[in-house]
Structure 1
Amino acid sequence: MSNRHDLVLPNLPPMVKESRLDSVHLARRNPLEFKDFNEYLSVYARSISDVGEYWLGVANELDWTTNWPPKVNLEGDFQHGFRFFPGSEMNVSYNCIDRHALKDPEKRAIVWIGEDGSERVWTYADLLTETTKFAKALSSLGVTKGDVVAIYLPNLLETFAAVHACFRLGAIYNIIFAGFSARALADRVADTGAKVVVTADEAIRKGKLLALKSTLDSVLGELESVEKVVVVRRTGNEAVSMREGRDLYWDDLVSQFEPGFDPVPVEANDPGFIIYTSGTTAKPKGLVHSGVGFLVGTYHNVKMSLDLGPDDVYWCTADTGWLTFPIFELVGGLANGATMVAYEGALDFPEPDRFYKIIEQYAINKVFTAPTLLRMLARYGESWIQGKDLSKLQLVALVGEPLDAKTWHWVQSKIGRGSMEINNTYGQSETGSAWASSVVGVTPAKPGSCGVALPGHSYAVVDDDGKAVSRGTVGYLVMDKPFPAMCRTIWKDHGRYLAQYFSRFGGDHYDTADAALVDQDGHIWVVGRVDGVINVSGHRLSTMEMESALLSLPQVGEAAVVGVEDNTKGQVPVGFVTLAQGVSSVSEHELAEQLVKEIGPIARPKRIHILSAMPRTRSGKIVRRLLREIVVEGDSSGDVTGLEDPEVLDKIKSELQERD
């Protein structure tokens, strides 16, 4: 084994011991091979004994154009490169749009809601029309199979059409988060060599206008690959600069073309899109996913984790710039034929009940969101729920961070009336799916856990020597067999891909860099990043467990814990909390004693800082790295372009200085 780190892993968190299985609340509608947990275990065992055969069965539910069924289901491995269904071809756009438009053209595909109250609806026929017209438009601009198109858009109807037009052409797209700075935008466009950039004149967020086209203009001079810019009229601001010959308005461009563009067959392992992970001081990684492999994986993921179908009105609250949205709405959601809700804006603006109002108004029955949103709603309190009819809501699924038990029970009691399915899942940008999850309607959930491994995903929890650990023991979480949605390389840097993910435990194990355990009920618990575990005087402490202990206090709305160096103990924890709605104060002593009470004296923190807000990404993750930088260095030096509100860092620094 090369590049061994021997990182210290945390002990079994008490919250794992205390968690109990919840009942299965939602009756499954989409048929599966299994009806209960024992049958799931049997199917799962068969699926990982021959992953190629299992994924062939999944892929056979989709429409292929050439060389189907394949001669080989799976060839290669992690170390040497893997290929599912080599030589077989299909088109992602056809499977997400045409299949449904041919069956029920007037069915609503996407209901778009703007923060300013705007509403637009596209049926599957509308989506097909707009997608094929834009595919023709891109083709007229010289985009062909294998070219890169950068999509710098917020959640708009046109975002769906732009992505699927690229799929239809066989082009490679890169969705770039609309909140990124000019520098972050330029770095990504330059790295991909995008020929066309699709953006909007402006976007709206928390009542403010975000000048997307202007941001792009500020760096276009250094982006030699960009030949054309297509601009969606989101606000219609006539003052937006448009350079003749280069810049084209979306509506003017597509109006030149009639609907209809035959989908280009794409080989099952060809690159479909690039998505960048956020960087700290290192260059962000451009993860390359197979378009077809991603479709197969996300179709399966959504089917298992949401039981999504044509009768559902479904809302994924993520921003399109984060992979959660393509997995659970843009590709995986559409592939399952439901009606999608897409929202552009902040979920607590202009009031904290915006989330509830949207669910009520559109009779949404399934939601995919982030644990941080639920903690935010709990922090605001149940008064904002009063008077809202949430009776249609059957399922809330989550990804991004562990969901603490306190918030889990609050959501179940206050929003779900005690009978809602809550599915806390786990995945990474690299895995292209939330592969750990409940199988909705089959496997019971457990507050705090990530559920079980979905069929077709083989994993292990191992020690420093790569040997499997026993149940209840924390180790390194690895994937030991390929699956279709897994990223295939890092754009222009395959050596970095191998070094980053396949060095600690060898070329046959993908290293998630997360610490995890499997409990006695077979549930997977991800307890933190292995390089973020705190080692206090030789005792291994999980930041997740400490945060959960703080969150169990009714006065605490959000919590984050980081480790800082200490001359005596090696490391000590430093905590950060925001207060629950209506709470004016809580003492640092009380917070510290809560950690001692729940975990032990070894968890006594060096400090616990009470903040008015946390640094969060738009996808809802608290950026703990920035909190640590501010405490240790007095400032933040890493990448901050993905923050929901970059100005919050100055507020945090000011609040910490006032208390010192």
Structure 2
Amino acid sequence: MGSSFSLTDVPLIAPSYRPSSRLPISSEKDYPAFYQRSIEHVGAYWATVAQELVWDQMWHADMQGELPNFEFFKNGYLNVSANCIDRHAQRHPHRQALKWISETGEEKTWTYSQLLDQTARMASFLRQQGIQPGDVVAIFLPNLLETFAAVHACYRIGAIYNIIFSGFSQEALYDRLVETKPRIIITADGTYRRGRIIPLKQTLDRIVERIDSVEHVIVIRRANTAITMTRPRDIFWDDILHDVTTYQDPLPIEANQPGFIIYTSGTTSKPKGLIHSGAGFLVGAYHNVKFTLDLGENDVYWCTADTGWLTFPIFELVGGLAHGASMIVYEGAMDYPTPAHFYQILSHNQVTKIFTAPTWLRMLARFGESLAHEYALDTLQLIGLVGEPLDANTWQWVRQHLGSGQVDINNTYGQSETGSAWASGIAGVTAMKPGSCGPALPGHAYQIVNANGEPEALNTAGTLVLTQPFPALTRGIWGNRERYYTQYFSQYPGRYNTFDTAVEDSNRHLWVLGRIDDVINVAAHRLSTMEMESVILQLPGVAESAVIGVDDTLKGQVPVAFVTLRDNSLKQENWNAKVGEQISQQIGSIARPAQVYVIDAMPKTRSGKIVRRLLKEIVTTGRAEGDRTGMENPEIVDTLVAQLQEAIHLQTDDS
């Protein structure tokens, strides 16, 4: 911390996109004063945003309390589903809300009227089963039209939904279900990924008997694959809608009541279930999409994320629908069956705005500009990004080759905990800087501090902290309030610790440099290295394990694992395959290490903590020049350097 960075030579680039009248400011010169007012009067600012939505009962106080205990719009009541669906269906019932496209070539559309129909009838069924406000419903689904109806059926009746990535293994799924005790789980028979069926119902069947709270499993027929239906527990989605003809009206829900839970990896091996309030998340997501994308009813918009990562609820499920846009819902791999598929979708549907991950843009650059130039992309105006920093070279490539050289690129920053990508350029208003995350959006107050909590100077790296609450910020960790306080507020009392290292440059743009804890970003997915280490330790013969994140030109970061063995005779086994398979089965293939190194001993501190920074230094530079003071076994460092250099040399020869 405290290191200086030279970012002054990165140019500011004026936006090409012309902002609409939806935005409250239209010129960059208005931004500093507008932002300052927003953080000086945080409650009043967020009240002006909230008043753009439909409330059943207005609140008495804009904001109460402070970090970590705060409330917005207390005793105000609204319904998220009504704001995202009903108000658009009433005005434009026949306008396309969602167009679902699969890698298989299948397509299906729903109007806002059809989305309302499916949502209101599924909500009616849930109420018939006795689901009350505060009950938990688990959503284990891929990107389907029915996913929108399932989520908003929960919002409609005040049920808390637990949204889970469809690529998780059975044990990762179990870990994310057992704490929340869902009464109902909604899943699909399967989904497609790179031409093969991912058997979701089968994965759920392996663990559902261990979840005592489950009363029903609702199954969407997607892949039409053979599955086991255990009656009367298991019911098909379409059978329910065939029998249920009643519409459930949206129930008014108090603004601070929990809306959903999403599990994210942390700095321990146990995933944590983040709680977001329904109304607070709606207000934050609506605001985020408005400023970052200037999204409107005439836009054709595509958020490429998976349902199970919070990017999708922010930018499509809730934030996108709240603005009434026509949206693309995509199932599968975007470069399947050919790398041209992505461009074909953009061109054929005349997409105006997309939200994706920097990893995907690096993949497009890898495919080459000739492929990009084969398709008419003149309608594309704006690309929003989140997940990890975007390198300047890819930024320039995209700017040059997508959208006639005029597309704006808004590289943002946020976390699952923040419920929004709160560092972001304002579409068409603020200048862009290749590689930066833009300035802070209004209503978000922050500091970059040193280890003592003192603010750092401009162009100096430190820990990024948030200094005031905002509606979308997580309200706690499911079942463990104390962990919420300890995790985020113990090091800098009264301030939320992002555990990210960042720099603020002289133009007030933020540059997020990486994690300071043990979480890495792989293709925009946050993964806990300690969760991976715990899984590796389950392998017979493994004595110790360590996982680090190493920079990768395509994925941003990839995991690299180190193991020590209980018996040297096991060294001849294929640990790359064994560890990779173990990680894939227990967590998911996204977490599979790029390389596994077998070493004689781990470098450790006197307290027994593995010095992961040293392992990373050796792998990435071939040397170990970092500080060795405080190590329990400094004598092994030279041995480690020799071992890892030899392993890397053999790996290079093999390739």
Question: TM-score range with shorter-chain normalisation?
Answer: 0.7 to 0.9
- 1:399 correspondence with 2:386: yes
Distance of aligned partners of 1:475 and 1:357 in 2 relative to their CA distance in 1, 3 Å threshold: same
* CA root-mean-square deviation: 2.5
1:434-477 residue CA offsets vs partner (Å, 9 max, x unmatched): 00000001101100100011111111111122111111111110
In the alignment, the residues of structure 2 paired with residue 649 and residue 18 of structure 1 have an alpha-carbon distance, to the nearest angstrom, of 34
In the alignment, the residues of structure 1 paired with residue 192 and residue 593 of structure 2 have an alpha-carbon distance, to the nearest angstrom, of 19
Question: Alignment partner for residue 203 of structure 2, among 196, 201, 215?
Answer: 215
In the alignment, the residues of structure 1 paired with residue 564 and residue 467 of structure 2 have an alpha-carbon distance, to the nearest angstrom, of 38
Number of residue-to-residue matches in the alignment: 569
In the alignment, the residues of structure 2 paired with residue 652 and residue 319 of structure 1 have an alpha-carbon distance, to the nearest angstrom, of 31
1:344-381 residue CA offsets vs partner (Å, 9 max, x unmatched): 00011111121111101111010000000001111121
Which residue does the alignment assign to 1:149? 137
In the alignment, the residues of structure 1 paired with residue 649 and residue 190 of structure 2 have an alpha-carbon distance, to the nearest angstrom, of 35
- 1:128 correspondence with 2:121: no
Matched position secondary structure for 1:402: coil
Distance of aligned partners of 1:460 and 1:253 in 2 relative to their CA distance in 1, 3 Å threshold: same
Which residue does the alignment assign to 1:71? 60
In the alignment, the residues of structure 2 paired with residue 631 and residue 326 of structure 1 have an alpha-carbon distance, to the nearest angstrom, of 41
- 1:487 correspondence with 2:474: yes
Matched position secondary structure for 1:460: strand
In the alignment, the residues of structure 2 paired with residue 127 and residue 136 of structure 1 have an alpha-carbon distance, to the nearest angstrom, of 14
Letter in 2 for 1:139: R
- 1:309 correspondence with 2:319: no
Which residue does the alignment assign to 1:520? 506
Distance of aligned partners of 1:630 and 1:383 in 2 relative to their CA distance in 1, 3 Å threshold: farther
Letter in 1 for 2:364: L
CA contact (8 A) 2:551 2:557 kept: no
Matched position secondary structure for 1:121: strand
In the alignment, the residues of structure 2 paired with residue 399 and residue 631 of structure 1 have an alpha-carbon distance, to the nearest angstrom, of 36
Report how far residue 10 of structure 1 moved.
Answer: 6.5
Identity %: 49
Question: Alignment partner for residue 60 of structure 1, among 51, 54, 64?
Answer: 51
In the alignment, the residues of structure 2 paired with residue 176 and residue 267 of structure 1 have an alpha-carbon distance, to the nearest angstrom, of 25
Distance of aligned partners of 1:28 and 1:460 in 2 relative to their CA distance in 1, 3 Å threshold: same
In the alignment, the residues of structure 1 paired with residue 431 and residue 456 of structure 2 have an alpha-carbon distance, to the nearest angstrom, of 24
CA contact (8 A) 1:299 1:336 kept: yes
Gapped regions of structure 2 (runs ≥ 5): 523-528, 530-547, 566-570, 599-646
Distance of aligned partners of 1:103 and 1:657 in 2 relative to their CA distance in 1, 3 Å threshold: farther
Report how far residue 24 of structure 1 moved.
Answer: 1.3
Which residue does the alignment assign to 1:529? 515
In the alignment, the residues of structure 2 paired with residue 453 and residue 651 of structure 1 have an alpha-carbon distance, to the nearest angstrom, of 39
In the alignment, the residues of structure 1 paired with residue 497 and residue 8 of structure 2 have an alpha-carbon distance, to the nearest angstrom, of 26
Letter in 1 for 2:4: L
Matched position secondary structure for 2:39: helix
CA contact (8 A) 2:2 2:460 kept: no
Letter in 1 for 2:510: I
Give the TM-score normalised by structure 1.
Answer: 0.82
Distance of aligned partners of 1:169 and 1:517 in 2 relative to their CA distance in 1, 3 Å threshold: same
Which residue does the alignment assign to 1:246? 233
Distance of aligned partners of 1:656 and 1:440 in 2 relative to their CA distance in 1, 3 Å threshold: farther
In the alignment, the residues of structure 1 paired with residue 243 and residue 268 of structure 2 have an alpha-carbon distance, to the nearest angstrom, of 45
CA contact (8 A) 2:561 2:596 kept: no
Report how far residue 17 of structure 1 moved.
Answer: 3.2
In the alignment, the residues of structure 2 paired with residue 169 and residue 362 of structure 1 have an alpha-carbon distance, to the nearest angstrom, of 34
CA contact (8 A) 1:348 1:354 kept: yes
1:379-458 alignment runs, 5 A limit:
379-458=366-445
Report how far residue 132 of structure 1 moved.
Answer: 0.2
1:366-404 residue CA offsets vs partner (Å, 9 max, x unmatched): 000000000111112112213211111011110000000
CA contact (8 A) 1:281 1:639 kept: no
Letter in 2 for 1:206: R
Stretch of structure 1 that moved more, 468-477 or 207-216? 468-477
In the alignment, the residues of structure 2 paired with residue 270 and residue 576 of structure 1 have an alpha-carbon distance, to the nearest angstrom, of 40
In the alignment, the residues of structure 2 paired with residue 459 and residue 646 of structure 1 have an alpha-carbon distance, to the nearest angstrom, of 31
Report how far residue 278 of structure 1 moved.
Answer: 2.7
Distance of aligned partners of 1:657 and 1:252 in 2 relative to their CA distance in 1, 3 Å threshold: farther
Distance of aligned partners of 1:188 and 1:400 in 2 relative to their CA distance in 1, 3 Å threshold: same
1:503-652 alignment runs, 5 A limit:
503-506=490-493, 508-531=494-517, 622-624=556-558, 626-629=559-562, 643=588, 645=590, 649=594
CA contact (8 A) 1:133 1:261 kept: yes
Matched position secondary structure for 2:560: helix
Which residue does the alignment assign to 2:187? 199
Matched position secondary structure for 1:427: strand
In the alignment, the residues of structure 2 paired with residue 98 and residue 361 of structure 1 have an alpha-carbon distance, to the nearest angstrom, of 29
1:43-98 residue CA offsets vs partner (Å, 9 max, x unmatched): 111110010000000000000002x1x2211111113x100011110000000000
CA contact (8 A) 1:131 1:165 kept: yes
Distance of aligned partners of 1:460 and 1:114 in 2 relative to their CA distance in 1, 3 Å threshold: same
Stretch of structure 1 that moved more, 186-195 or 294-303? 186-195
In the alignment, the residues of structure 2 paired with residue 59 and residue 294 of structure 1 have an alpha-carbon distance, to the nearest angstrom, of 11
Distance of aligned partners of 1:10 and 1:187 in 2 relative to their CA distance in 1, 3 Å threshold: same
Distance of aligned partners of 1:48 and 1:363 in 2 relative to their CA distance in 1, 3 Å threshold: same
- 1:99 correspondence with 2:87: yes
Distance of aligned partners of 1:32 and 1:631 in 2 relative to their CA distance in 1, 3 Å threshold: farther
- 1:43 correspondence with 2:25: no
1:118-172 residue CA offsets vs partner (Å, 9 max, x unmatched): 1010000000000001001111222111100001000000000000000001000
Which residue does the alignment assign to 1:180? 168
Letter in 2 for 1:24: P
